[in-house]
Amino acid sequence: MSSPVQILFPAGRLLMGSLYKPQEKDADGNPLKIKSGPNAGQPRVDYFFALGIRKGAETHWGQTPWGAEIWKAGHLAFPQAAAAPSFAWKVVDGDSATPNRKGKKPCDREGYPGHWVVTFSGGFAPKVYQIPPGAKEPVIWPQPDAVNLGDFVEVYGNCSGNNSVQQPGVFINHSMVCFRGYGDRIVLGPDAAAVGFGATALPAGASAVPTGAALPAPGAPGAPAAPAVAMPPPPVITPAPTAPPIPAASIPSHMPLPATATPPAPPAPPVPAGPSMTPKAGAFTYEQFIAGGWTDDKLRESGYMV
C-alpha cells in the first residue's frame, strides 16, 4: 500500500455535501458500514463534500498541479486498472453530459459547468479555518455551519489508492478547509417557488390573522351582522342650586349694590369625538381594526363600534 500524497487544492466553490453534518447512508440509501478490518460490518459515518475548481487552459484535470498528484497516486496503486474507464478517480468534468448511474448529468447541476469537481470524504469532520481581515495566519473557525454550499474554500487533503479489487480507484480525504469568500447560496432539493404554493383556495374557517385572542378578520360581504352590545346610558348630572338674585329695590340706600357678575366665556367648540368602540372590541383600538382591513360600516354592523 502506497503512502497518501498530501495536496493543497486551489480555491474552489462548495457544490455538494457539508463540512459539518455527516452522512449515515450511501447513495442507494443503505446504512454505511466498515468494509474491512477487525470492525468490518459496524456502522460508520462519512463527511462528504464536493469542490468545484474552475477550469483553465488544460483539457484534462490530470494536467493541473493538483490533478497530476491524483493521477500519479492512482497509477501507483493500480498500474493496470487505472487505465480503465470505470476507475474511480473522484474527479468529474462539470461540463459532461454523460449521466451517472442515477441518470443525473453533471452539466445539469448548479455550479458544475466550467469546473473540475473533486469529491472529498472522511470519517471525521474537517477542521475549518478562516483568515481574519488583516491577518496573515489562518485561525480555527468553531462557529457551526459558518461555511455553506456556494461559498469558496481551499482544501488540504490527501490521496491514495482505495485497495478495492471490486471497484478500484482512489480515496481523496479532507483534513483542513480554509474559508476564502462567500458565494451565492446553493440550495439542494425542490424549489419552493416552483412547487405552486398559494394556487388553491383557502377552505372555510381559514383566517389571514391568528384566531382566538387576536384581532378578528373583517366579515364577508353580506354576512349577518353580530348583535351590538348595548352601552350603559350616560349618568344624569343635576346642576347645583344657585341663589336667586336680590332685587335692587330691597337693598338699603347706604349699602352698595352688588357687583354685576361677568358673563361666562362662551364654551369652546366641541372637539369631534373619535370612534367609540364597544366592549366587544376588547383591548383592540379603532386604529388596529382599520389596519386589519375593517371599515367603519363593517365595525358598526358587527357591533364593535357605535
- Determine which of 32-36, 46-50, 259-263, 268-272 has the lowest per-residue pLDDT on average: 259-263
Q: Which strands form 115-120's sheet, in the order they lie side by side?
A: 91-93, 115-120, 49-54, 5-17, 152-161, 170-181, 127-130, 139-140
pTM: 0.62
Averaged pLDDT score across all residues of the chain: 82
**Domains recognised in the chain with CATH numbers:** 5-188 (2.40.50.140), 274-306 (no CATH)
Separation CA 212–CA 228 (nearest Å)? 20
Taking only the tens place, the pLDDT of each residue in 62-109 is 999 999 999 999 999 999 999 999 999 999 999 999 998 888 999 999
Burial group, residue 188, by CB count within 10 angstroms (0-12, 13-18, 19+): exposed
* Coil/strand/helix, residue 61: helix
Per-residue pLDDT at 127 exceeds 60: yes
Query: Rounded to 10 degrees, what is the CA torsion of 14, 17, 20, 21?
Result: 170
Separation CA 145–CA 179 (nearest Å)? 12
Mean pLDDT along residues 151-162: 97
Yes or no: say if 11 and 43 are a contact pair by the CB < 8 Å rule: no
* Residue 70 CA, distance from chain mean position: 38
Query: Who contacts 273 (Cβ-Cβ below 8 Å, separation ≥6)?
Result: none
Pairing of strands 127-130, 170-181: parallel
Taking only the tens place, the pLDDT of each residue in 3-42 is 899 999 999 999 999 999 999 988 778 898 888 778 888 8
Query: Who contacts 220 (Cβ-Cβ below 8 Å, separation ≥6)?
Result: none
Q: Which residue blocks in the chain are alpha helix, DSSP H? A: 65-77, 192-195, 286-291, 296-301
